[in-house]
C-alpha cells in the first residue's frame, strides 16, 4: 500500500460572480502521507476552506469551476460519478466543519445524526450504531455520552457542539480527515484531548489529516508539514519545525510576530496592514505586494514561483519551498530589486503602548452571584431540579483594569457575563456598578445603567442584524440608551467610533455581510463604544479570528483602554491572549471561582490543581 493518502495537483476553484471570476483557489499542489498531518494556515479569505471543500467534492454547483487532479490512495476522485463521491464523503474522507451549529440539523437528536453515517457507510444495525455512537461520544470527552446521544444541538454549548462534529467525523474511521478549525470553540484542555484523539487515530488507522487552523501553536505541536496560503496560493511549504525555526516568506514572518503572549505585554502586537485582496482582482505580480514590508519595485508586476532553495530537490518532506522574489537570484540581480520602503524591516517591530496603570477604584463588584437554569421534565414540564451554571462567585473589576475569566466550556463563563449585565436574571447574589446594586433595578433604572455596561459577543455575524446597515446598527443603541442626542449628534457619534476602530465613515452605508470576520468584530466593538461605556464584557471576542486580525483587535482594545480608561471582563479560553492582555485572572470551574490573582502569579505560580491542568494543556511555541 502506498504511503501517500492524498495528492492534490494544481487545484483551481473559481466562482462566477457579478464582479467577475473569483479565483478562490488558484493552482495549489500538496500531498499528505499516511499517519501524518498537513496544516494549512493563513488569513481569512485566503482560500483554505474552499481548498478543503474542493477536495471533499462539495462544490459542484453551477457557477463553480474546479480544475486539477485529486488523488485518494492513488485513485483520481474528482471525475467520479456522484454516487461514488457520496460513498467517499463521510466514509473514506470525513470533514469537521468550522461552524457546528450550521452543520448540525436542529430537528434531529445528536444520536440520530451520528448513527445515520454509521448505518449508511458501515452497514451497522440500529443497536450497533447506537453503541458505536455512544462510544465515540465518550472518546471526545463527554462525561454523560448517553444523555448527549438523546439531546438536541441547541441545548449544547459551542464547544460541546464542536465535539459532536468531531465524533461524527471520526465514527467511520476515515482514510483522510479534513479538520477545518476543529478547536476554535474549545478550551485548551478539550483542545489537547481532541488533538490527542486525532493523533491516536493517525497512529492506529494510518489516517491522514488536513488541519486548517489559525492557531499556530497548535500547528507547531501537531503538524508534520505546513502550507502557508495567501490569496489562493501557497507562498511557503515546509516541515513544521523548519518553518517555525526559520520562516522565509515575509507573510509567514508577519504571522509569527502577530501571536500574543507574555513576551509582548506592554507593547502593541505586530500586524499586517491592509487586507487579503479580493479573489476577483488579484494583482498581476506578487499577491502580497502592497502589504509586504520588504516589497521591491518589481514585485507588483512579476509573479514569484513556489521554488525550493536547492534546485535539485523534488520532495518537500525535508525541504523548504517559498514563493518570494527575495530568493530569486535572477530577480534580485535586476534593476527592479530596489526596496520601495526605507528600513522596511523596522515596520515589523512592536510599538509600546502608554501602559497606563489600572486604578484602584472599583467599577464592578460581584458577590455570591448565582445563575441557575431549571430542569423541566414530564408532560407538564414541571421543574425537577436546576443546572447551577454560576454557583456563588465573587469578582471585582477595577478602573482601567482587564480581568480575564477563564475555564473549560460549560463552566459558566458566558452565563456569568450575561448575568452581570442582567441579560439573564440571577438566582441570587449581588452585582454593584459604581456602588449601585443593579440586580433589583426595574427596566427604566437598568436602561440608564446599560449605557455604561456593554458587551462584545463571540460571533459578530449572528449579533449584527443582517437587514440593517452599519450606521443603523450602531445608531440603534445610541437612540435607545442616549435619547438626549439628536440625529446629527448620533450620526457624528457613529462616524467617530467607526473611525476609532479603523473602518472609517465609508462603512456606514454597508451591510454586515460585506465585511470580513475581523471587520465585523470591529463593528461590534464600535457599537459597544458608541454609548461611551465604562465597563465592557468581551465574550470570546477574538477566539474565531486568525492571528493577524486577532492582533489588530487586541491592539485596538489596548488603545481604547489606554485612551478612555475602560475596564474589561475578558472571557476567553485562549491563555496566550490572557497572558498578553490581562492584569488579573479568575479561573472558573463548575460554576465557581477556584483561583484568582495577578496574571504573573497565575501563570508562574499556580496553586489550584485545575489551574495547573489548564496551563499544562496550553500548546507551546518555540522561544
Q: With respect to residue 392, please indicate whether it lies within any of the assigned structural domains.
A: no
Tell me, what CATH number does 412's domain have? Answer: 3.40.50.300
Residue 183 burial (C-beta neighbours within 10 Å; 0-12, 13-18, 19+)? buried
Same-domain status, 73 and 134: yes
Question: Residue 356: is its pLDDT beyond 50?
Answer: no
- pTM for the structure as a whole: 0.83
Which whole number is the average pLDDT over 244-269? 89
Q: With respect to residue 150, please indicate whether it lies within any of the assigned structural domains.
A: yes
pLDDT of residue 156: 86
Confidence tier at 185 by pLDDT (50, 70, 90):
low
Which whole number is the average pLDDT over 592-608? 95
* CB proximity list for 557: less than 8 A, separation 6 or greater: 525, 538, 541, 568, 581
Same-domain status, 322 and 182: no
Percent of the chain topping pLDDT 90: 55
From 173, 189, 223, the end of a domain falls on 223
Same-domain status, 255 and 213: no
Residue count (the chain): 623
Which whole number is the average pLDDT over 545-565? 87
Q: With respect to residue 233, please indicate whether it lies within any of the assigned structural domains.
A: no
Residue 539 burial (C-beta neighbours within 10 Å; 0-12, 13-18, 19+)? buried
Q: With respect to residue 165, please indicate whether it lies within any of the assigned structural domains.
A: yes
Same-domain status, 186 and 273: no
Question: Residue 350: is its pLDDT beyond 60?
Answer: no
Domain interval for residue 18: 4-223
Same-domain status, 218 and 287: no
- How does the average pLDDT of the chain come out, rounded? 88
Q: With respect to residue 48, please indicate whether it lies within any of the assigned structural domains.
A: yes
Confidence tier at 623 by pLDDT (50, 70, 90):
low
Question: Residue 343: is its pLDDT beyond 60?
Answer: no
Q: For the chain, report the end-to-end CA distance as a whole number of angstroms.
A: 39
Q: For residue 308, what is the DSSP state?
A: E
Q: What are the residues facing 37 on neighbouring strands?
A: 209
Same-domain status, 41 and 108: yes
Same-domain status, 189 and 286: no
Same-domain status, 218 and 276: no
Cell of 125: 444495525
pLDDT of residue 351: 45
Same-domain status, 114 and 21: yes
Give the best-scoring range by mean pLDDT among 89-98, 374-383, 530-539. Answer: 530-539
Same-domain status, 154 and 15: yes
Confidence tier at 346 by pLDDT (50, 70, 90):
very low
DSSP string, 94-141: EEE-S-HHHHS-TTS-HHHHHHHHHHHHS---HHHHHHHHHHHHHHTT
From 223, 257, 287, the end of a domain falls on 223
Q: What share of the chain is helix, strand, coil (3-state, %, to 5)?
A: 35, 25, 40
Does residue 442 sit in helix, strand or coil? coil
Where would I find the H helices in 298-453?
Answer: 329-332, 413-420, 443-450
Cell of 63: 457557477
Give the best-scoring range by mean pLDDT among 36-50, 224-238, 257-271. Answer: 224-238
Same-domain status, 46 and 121: yes
Q: With respect to residue 103, please indicate whether it lies within any of the assigned structural domains.
A: yes
From 190, 223, 256, the end of a domain falls on 223
Q: With respect to residue 17, please indicate whether it lies within any of the assigned structural domains.
A: yes
pLDDT of residue 311: 40
Same-domain status, 561 and 466: yes
Question: Residue 312: is its pLDDT beyond 60?
Answer: no
Question: Residue 63: is its pLDDT beyond 70?
Answer: yes
Number of domains in the chain: 3
* CB proximity list for 492: less than 8 A, separation 6 or greater: none
CA 477 to CA 247: how far, in whole Å? 45
Q: With respect to residue 196, please indicate whether it lies within any of the assigned structural domains.
A: yes
Which whole number is the average pLDDT over 14-25? 91
* CB proximity list for 381: less than 8 A, separation 6 or greater: none
Instruction: Tell me which of 121-135, 174-188, 337-351 is least confident.
Output: 337-351
pLDDT of residue 461: 73
Confidence tier at 358 by pLDDT (50, 70, 90):
low
Amino acid at each position: 500500500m502506498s504511503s501517500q493518502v492524498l495528492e492534490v495537483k494544481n487545484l483551481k476553484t473559481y466562482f462566477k460572480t457579478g464582479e467577475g471570476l473569483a479565483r478562490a483557489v488558484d493552482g495549489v499542489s500538496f500531498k499528505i502521507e499516511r499517519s501524518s498531518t498537513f496544516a494549512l494556515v493563513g488569513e481569512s479569505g485566503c482560500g483554505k476552506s474552499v481548498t478543503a471543500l474542493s477536495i471533499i467534492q462539495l462544490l459542484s454547483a453551477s457557477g463553480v469551476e474546479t480544475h486539477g487532479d485529486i488523488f485518494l490512495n492513488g485513485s483520481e476522485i474528482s471525475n467520479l460519478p456522484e454516487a461514488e463521491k457520496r460513498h467517499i464523503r463521510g466514509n473514506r474522507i470525513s470533514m469537521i466543519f468550522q461552524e457546528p451549529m450550521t452543520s448540525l440539523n436542529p430537528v434531529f437528536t445528536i444520536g440520530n445524526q451520528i448513527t445515520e453515517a454509521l448505518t449508511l457507510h458501515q452497514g451497522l444495525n440500529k443497536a450497533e450504531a447506537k453503541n458505536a455512537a455512544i462510544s465515540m461520544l465518550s472518546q471526545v470527552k463527554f462525561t454523560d455520552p448517553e444523555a448527549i446521544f438523546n439531546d438536541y444541538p441547541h441545548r449544547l454549548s459551542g464547544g460541546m457542539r464542536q465535539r459532536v462534529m468531531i465524533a461524527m467525523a471520526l465514527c467511520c474511521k476515515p482514510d483522510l480527515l479534513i479538520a477545518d478549525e476543529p478547536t476554535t470553540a474549545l478550551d485548551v484542555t478539550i483542545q489537547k484531548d481532541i488533538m490527542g484523539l486525532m493523533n491516536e487515530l493517525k497512529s492506529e488507522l494510518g489516517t491522514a489529516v488536513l488541519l486548517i487552523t489559525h492557531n499556530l501553536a497548535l500547528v507547531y505541536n501537531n503538524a508534520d508539514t505546513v502550507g502557508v496560503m495567501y490569496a489562493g496560493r501557497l507562498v511557503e511549504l515546509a516541515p513544521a519545525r523548519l518553518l517555525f525555526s526559520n520562516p522565509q516568506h515575509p507573510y509567514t514572518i508577519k504571522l509569527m510576530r502577530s501571536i500574543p503572549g507574555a513576551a509582548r505585554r506592554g507593547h502593541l502586537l505586530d500586524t499586517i496592514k491592509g487586507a487579503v485582496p479580493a479573489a476577483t482582482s488579484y494583482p498581476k505580480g506578487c499577491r502580497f505586494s502592497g502589504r509586504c514590508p520588504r516589497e521591491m519595485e518589481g514585485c507588483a508586476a512579476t509573479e514569484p514561483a513556489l521554488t525550493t532553495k536547492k534546485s535539485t530537490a523534488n520532495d518537500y518532506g525535508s525541504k523548504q519551498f517559498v514563493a518570494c522574489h527575495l530568493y530569486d537570484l535572477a530577480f534580485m540581480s535586476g534593476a527592479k530589486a530596489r526596496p520601495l520602503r526605507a528600513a522596511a524591516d523596522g515596520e515589523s517591530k512592536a510599538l509600546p503602548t502608554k501602559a497606563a496603570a489600572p486604578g484602584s477604584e472599583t467599577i464592578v463588584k460581584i458577590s455570591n452571584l448565582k445563575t441557575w437554569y431549571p430542569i423541566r421534565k414530564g408532560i407538564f414540564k414541571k421543574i425537577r431540579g436546576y443546572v447551577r451554571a454560576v454557583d456563588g462567585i465573587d469578582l471585582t473589576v477595577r478602573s482601567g483594569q482587564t480581568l480575564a475569566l477563564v475555564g473549560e466550556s460549560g463552566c459558566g463563563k458566558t452565563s456569568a457575563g450575561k448575568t452581570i449585565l442582567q441579560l439573564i436574571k440571577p438566582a441570587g447574589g449581588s452585582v454593584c456598578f459604581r456602588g449601585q446594586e443593579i440586580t433589583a433595578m426595574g427596566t427604566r433604572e437598568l436602561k440608564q445603567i446599560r449605557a455604561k455596561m456593554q458587551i462584545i459577543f463571540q460571533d459578530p455575524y449572528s449579533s449584527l442584524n443582517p437587514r440593517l446597515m452599519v450606521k443603523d446598527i450602531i445608531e440603534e443603541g445610541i437612540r435607545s440608551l442616549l435619547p438626549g442626542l439628536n440625529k446629527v449628534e448620533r450620526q457624528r457619534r457613529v462616524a467617530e467610533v467607526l473611525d476609532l476602530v479603523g473602518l472609517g465613515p465609508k462603512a456606514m452605508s454597508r451591510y454586515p455581510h460585506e465585511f470580513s470576520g475581523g471587520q465585523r468584530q470591529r463593528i461590534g466593538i464600535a457599537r459597544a463604544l458608541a454609548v461611551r461605556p465604562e465597563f465592557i464584557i468581551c465574550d470570546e471576542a477574538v477566539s474565531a479570528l486568525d492571528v493577524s486580525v486577532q492582533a489588530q483587535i487586541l491592539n485596538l482594545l489596548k488603545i481604547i483602554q489606554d485612551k478612555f480608561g475602560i475596564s474589561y471582563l475578558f472571557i476567553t479560553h485562549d491563555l496566550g491572549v490572557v497572558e498578553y492582555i490581562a492584569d488579573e485572572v479568575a479561573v472558573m470551574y463548575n460554576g465557581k471561582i477556584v483561583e484568582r490573582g495577578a496574571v504573573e502569579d497565575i501563570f508562574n505560580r499556580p496553586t489550584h490543581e485545575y489551574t495547573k491542568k489548564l496551563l499544562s494543556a496550553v500548546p507551546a511555541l518555540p522561544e
